[in-house]
Amino acid sequence: MHMTVKGHHIDITDSIRSYVDQKFGRPWRHFDHVNEVHVVLGVQKLNQIAEVTVRLPGKDVHCEASHADLYAAIDLLADKLDRQVVRYKETHRPGVHRGQGADSRMAP
């Protein structure tokens, strides 16, 4: 997995980068087939904005969160990304839509 962290009108310090690495470790517990992660942190007037684009097999997942505090925005973003990765994993399980479930093996 390749993670890129960039800043838009903000300098990315080592502490911010390590916090992002720590927070985005949680969604990969559910799903480890991640190709690339692109994180953009920025400032717009009084809001701190955090965006992430994750390349999964067959789909790109994009999330965005904003808050007055940058660390809180990263927390919100990690929660949103976690929910979207779980939803992606549930819909892309092998055998779910191909009639290979437990109900299809039972004879009428």
Q: Residue 40: how many CB atoms within 10 A of its CB?
A: 16
Residue 34's pLDDT is 76
For position 7, which CATH number holds? 3.30.160.100
Say what the pLDDT of residue 59 is: 86
105: in domain: no
Residue 70 lies in a domain: yes
Q: Cβ contacts of residue 76 below 8 Å, gap of 6+?
A: 50, 65, 67
Q: Quick check: is 81 in a domain? A: yes
pTM above 0.95, yes or no: no
- Which parts of the chain sit beneath pLDDT 50? 104
